[in-house]
């Protein structure tokens, strides 16, 4: 599924969601809908949200991502948030914003490595 540089890809039992660099509110809402629908359709266990292209983190974006990760958890999947830029992290803390129940990791490679290591145990 691809909408204005928003992609939701199924890789084994994981969804890889790539967020565009300047997502509009409607794109963020579409992201939430696509992720939840894909979890139901594919019965995936993990969702990796890649925000490495995002430079601006406003309260709507943060709230919707946090709500999405909470919803993903309620559906029985884990959320991993990757690629947060330092400036976005600073803004998030200054505004008191959270990422819900997502596990923050540096990048997509680290997320897949962690998932691979946890499946071997």
pLDDT at 121 over 70: no
* pTM confidence score: 0.92
Domain-embedded: residue 36: yes
pLDDT of residue 2: 46
pLDDT in tens, 19-65: 988 888 999 999 999 999 999 999 999 999 999 999 888 889 999 99
The boundaries of the domain holding residue 83 are: 2-116
Domain-embedded: residue 6: yes
Domain-embedded: residue 104: yes
pLDDT in tens, 1-18: 445 567 899 999 999 999
Number of domains in the chain: 1
Residues 6+ away with beta carbon under 8 Å from 80: 46, 47, 48, 49, 102, 103, 104, 105, 111, 114, 115
Domain-embedded: residue 121: no
**Residue 70, domain CATH:** 3.30.750.24
pLDDT in tens, 60-108: 999 999 999 999 999 999 999 999 999 999 988 888 888 888 999 999 9
């Amino acid at each position: 599924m691809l909408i204005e540089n928003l992609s939701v890809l199924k890789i084994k039992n994981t969804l890889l969601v790539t967020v565009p660099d300047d997502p509009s509110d409607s794109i963020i809402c579409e992201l939430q809908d696509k992720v939840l629908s894909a979890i139901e359709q594919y019965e995936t266990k993990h969702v990796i949200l890649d925000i490495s292209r995002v430079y601006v983190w406003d309260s709507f974006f943060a709230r919707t991502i946090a709500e999405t990760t909470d919803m993903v958890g309620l559906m029985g999947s884990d959320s991993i948030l990757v690629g947060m830029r330092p400036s976005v992290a600073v803004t998030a803390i200054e505004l008191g914003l959270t990422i819900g129940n997502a596990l923050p990791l540096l990048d997509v490679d680290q997320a897949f490595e962690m998932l691979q290591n946890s499946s071997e145990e």
